[in-house]
């Protein structure tokens, strides 16, 4: 049967936006063919500042790499006639995904779990801001109430269209509701095997932004746009399956041995992985225990004030909700952070600390998180030096850009404090 799809949206995982890509004639993307994509993709910031990495730099001319579509991810986009989409990986000459790829890192970690006869399952949920697409960024809706039915009515058309579109591409959105803040909403995705869950998350974010743009709106996953309001979380629920059965619980309302080691790993490795969960300067302005955003590697049963909220009431859905990630973090990188820390706990058989024990403080700014990340040997071993070196370089460059701006900018705080009184 002749190919009736005119164009394919190639989707490539990066470190900041989540997905980048290009439109290509569909026939050129099929039949096991390889395309090409610039390796600069792993060095681009949100606003396309370029960070040189050991793999891609001005010194080597930012070369292309082979790009291979993952046919298991190809979907038609019914709302864009004549267009389908496929996630593609940058690969080497042996068809192996580049070690710099966050999606490849997540895939490698799932393979490590398979060696333990375990399959990690992730469920992403996102808080986000919806504004009018005007220079003032006017929040969408009149009120700020959480779980407001009035705000549900105001957003009903957009939310329903989003849920239906995701259903058409095989992504299940379980709920969409109002959160506490101006134009502040949340959606939850059904749990899925780790790589598929991250694929679904990164696509849902992008496709919602596209939908909002069609309606003259702007969707933002910025962690903290309002100093006096809640921040946007990107919480992730994780569990462990064996032969398709959840083994996170022992079946009687307590954690299993695997569940305890996995959770111990999340807690012990949280400080080292914070950079992956909170990757921007603004990410740390969201951290506020009074707004249920933890500053310590704490855990508890069904306790939203902790970093790791354990839910084991129903053995079939037993899981831990990691509440430290922000909505501004890349789903592949967040997933890799969780799986790496959990795997460390499993392989080292780490002991779960008593809930009454004083939890470890987590880095409170980008600089502290970067130092912790770069000094972690176990994390580099699990994620691979190519990824940790390149990702760390982009975070250091982001911090340096902010520090340069701060040094050269006269802030309103300085003017208010000094201009009139000195």
pLDDT digits (tens, 9 = 90+) for 249-301: 998 889 999 999 999 999 999 999 999 999 999 999 999 988 889 999 999 99
Q: Are residue 122 and residue 36 in the same domain, yes or no?
A: no
Do residues 117 and 88 share a domain? no
Mean pLDDT of the chain: 94
Question: What pLDDT score does 1 carry?
Answer: 43
Q: What's the rounded mean pLDDT across residues 214-237?
A: 94
Q: How far apart are CA 248 and CA 257, in angstroms?
A: 8
Instruction: Read off the pLDDT of residues 317-371 as tens digits, 9 standing for 90 and up.
Output: 999 999 999 999 999 999 999 999 999 999 999 999 998 899 999 999 999 999 9
| Length in residues, the chain | 422
Q: Of 68, 98, 128, which marks where a domain is finished?
A: 98
* Assigned domain for 417 exists: no
Q: Which of 49, 67, 98 is the last residue of a domain?
A: 98
Residues 129, 79 share a domain:
no
- Give the domain-ending residue among 73, 98, 123: 98
* Model confidence, pTM: 0.95
Conformational region of residue 181, where left means phi above 0, alpha means psi within -120 to 50, and beta covers everything else = left
The answer to the question of residue 415 being in a domain is: no
CATH, residue 81? 3.10.20.70
Residue 89 lies in a domain: yes
Residues 33, 159 within the same domain: no
- Whether residue 241 contacts residue 117, with contact meaning beta carbons closer than 8 Å, is answered with no
Q: DSSP 3-state assignment of 331?
A: helix
Q: Are residues 86 and 126 in the same domain?
A: no
Q: Which two tokens stand for residue 322?
A: 């990691």
User: Taking 80 as the threshold, does the pLDDT of residue 394 lie above it?
Assistant: yes
103 falls within a domain: no
Domain match, 356 and 333 both: yes
Give the pLDDT score at 81.
92
| Residue 19: domain span | 7-98
Same domain for 207 and 346?
Answer: yes
**Domain shared by 40 and 83, yes or no:** yes
Domain count of the fold of the chain: 2
Domain assignment present for residue 413? The answer is no
**HEC-encoded secondary structure of 85-117:** EEEEEEECCCCCECCCCHHHHHHHHHHHHHCCC
Residue 24 falls inside a structural domain? yes
Please check whether residue 422 lies inside any domain of the structure: no
What percent of the chain stands above pLDDT 90?
A: 84
In percent, the amount of the chain with pLDDT more than 70 equals 99
pLDDT band at 422 (very low <50, low <70, confident <90, very high): confident
For residues 129-147, give the mean pLDDT.
82
Total Cβ atoms within 10 A of residue 156: 11
Q: Give the pLDDT score at 149.
A: 82
Are residues 310 and 341 both part of a single domain? yes
pLDDT of residue 4: 63
Look at residue 91 and tell me if it is in a domain.
yes
């Amino acid at each position: 049967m002749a190919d009736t799809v005119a164009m394919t949206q190639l989707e490539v995982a990066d470190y900041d936006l989540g997905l980048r890509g290009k439109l290509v004639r569909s026939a050129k993307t099929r039949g096991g063919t390889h395309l090409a994509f610039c390796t600069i993709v792993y060095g681009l910031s949100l606003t396309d500042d370029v960070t040189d990495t050991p793999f891609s730099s001005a010194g080597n001319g930012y070369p292309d790499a082979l790009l291979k579509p993952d046919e298991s991810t190809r979907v038609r986009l019914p709302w864009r006639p004549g267009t389908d989409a496929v996630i593609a990986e940058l690969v080497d000459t042996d068809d192996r995904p580049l070690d710099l790829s966050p999606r490849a890192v997540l895939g490698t970690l799932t393979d490590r779990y398979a060696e333990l006869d375990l399959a990690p399952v992730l469920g992403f949920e996102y808080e986000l801001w919806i504004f009018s697409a005007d220079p003032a960024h006017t929040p969408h809706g009149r009120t700020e109430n959480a779980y407001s039915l009035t705000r549900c009515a105001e957003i009903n058309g957009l939310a329903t269209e989003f849920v239906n579109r995701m259903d058409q591409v095989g992504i299940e959105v379980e709920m969409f509701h109002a959160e506490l803040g101006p134009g502040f909403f949340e959606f939850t995705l059904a749990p899925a095997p780790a790589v598929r869950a991250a694929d679904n998350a990164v696509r849902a974010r992008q496709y919602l932004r596209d939908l909002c743009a069609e309606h003259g709106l702007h969707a933002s996953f910025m962690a903290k746009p309002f100093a006096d309001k809640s921040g946007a979380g990107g919480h992730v629920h994780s569990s462990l399956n064996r032969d398709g059965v959840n083994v996170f619980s022992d079946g009687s309302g307590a954690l299993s041995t695997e569940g305890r080691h996995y959770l111990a790993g999340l807690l012990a490795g949280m400080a080292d992985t914070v950079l992956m969960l909170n990757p921007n300067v603004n990410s740390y302005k969201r951290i506020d225990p009074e707004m249920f955003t933890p500053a310590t590697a704490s855990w508890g049963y069904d306790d939203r004030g902790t970093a790791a909220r354990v839910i084991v009431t129903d053995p079939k859905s037993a899981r831990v909700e990691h509440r430290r990630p922000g909505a501004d973090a890349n789903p592949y990188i967040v997933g890799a952070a969780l799986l790496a820390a959990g795997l460390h706990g499993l392989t080292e058989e780490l002991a779960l600390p008593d809930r009454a024990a004083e939890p470890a403080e987590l880095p409170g700014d980008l600089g502290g998180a970067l130092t912790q990340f770069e000094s972690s040997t176990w994390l580099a071993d699990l994620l691979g030096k190519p990824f940790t070196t390149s990702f760390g370089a982009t975070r250091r460059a982001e911090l340096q850009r902010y520090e340069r701006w701060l040094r050269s900018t006269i802030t309103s705080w300085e003017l208010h404090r000094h201009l009139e009184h000195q």
